[in-house]
Structure 1
Amino acid sequence: MGFLARTAITAFAFWCAAQLIGGINFSGPFNLIIAAIVFGVVNALIRPILMLLSLPLNVITLGLFTLVVNAAMLGLTALVMPGMTISGFGAAFFGAIIVAIVSWLANKAIGDKDKAVNR
């Protein structure tokens, strides 16, 4: 799937999280799009390193520590983005869960057109 589609899906997931969680706020719709791009960069560069460093905790918790890593990535995005605020760890934790669920549902709904053509 293309970069623009993934960015739009993540921006929509951020909007859903901001609507459902009181501690997540964006100053405007343009900030949603920029935050989605920053979140993609953070997930591409920092998340793999953090997942590797937290591998023992992930094994012990049967993968549940990944939720904490996802919350940390959302919190890091909020630190970098001037128009995005997260009130605390609880908001980041539940916001990361909402972003993951909405992104997964949107990706399933849109599907991958390349895979359908190649079959």
Structure 2
Amino acid sequence: MINFIIRYLLIAVAIMVLAKYIQGIAVDSFTTSLLVALAMGFLNTFIKPVLKLLSFPITILTLGLFLLVINVVLVYVVSYFVQGFTVHGFIPPLLFSFGISLVSTILGWFFD
């Protein structure tokens, strides 16, 4: 349980850092970044597999590039539900999702 809490706190810090350096992403406070981390975790666990299954034919036709669109859509869904988290454009949420994935992967190496 402690590893879960530490992991999400570090992801929330990464969200604040990424929002500072990626123009088009804005986070109001650390509490907002915690909510964004939890919402992204929830969507990646429950909604993303369903979207991947439904979009399988398109993903095959685009050689997997459509998965990037799914990541951007998930970031926009989080921005819709979490007040204080705003996203503009296509490239900023794409870079944001890459950054969060990278941080999550690195943290997974240390905490698993």
Same fold (TM over 0.5): yes
Q: Which runs of 5+ in 2 are unaligned?
A: none
Identity of aligned residues (%): 31
TM-fit CA distance, 1:33:
0.7
CA RMSD, aligned part only? 1.8
Contact 1:14/1:32 (<8 A) preserved: yes
TM-fit CA distance, 1:79:
0.7
TM normalised by structure 1 equals 0.81
TM-fit CA distance, 1:64:
2.2
Contact 1:16/1:99 (<8 A) preserved: no
Contact 2:7/2:107 (<8 A) preserved: no
Between 1:94-103 and 1:23-32, the stretch displaced more is 94-103
Contact 1:23/1:86 (<8 A) preserved: yes
Closer/same/farther in 2, CA of residues 82 and 98 from structure 1, 3 Å limit: same
SS in 2 for 1:51: helix
TM normalised by structure 2 equals 0.85
Contact 1:16/1:98 (<8 A) preserved: no
SS in 2 for 1:88: coil
Matches within 5 A, 1:42-53: 42-53=43-54
Question: What does residue 87 of structure 2 align with?
Answer: 86
SS in 2 for 1:25: strand
**Greater C-alpha radius of gyration:** 1
Q: How far apart are the structure 2 equivalents of 1:13 and 1:76?
A: 19
SS in 1 for 2:23: coil
The alignment covers a number of residue pairs equal to: 111
TM-fit CA distance, 1:62:
2.4
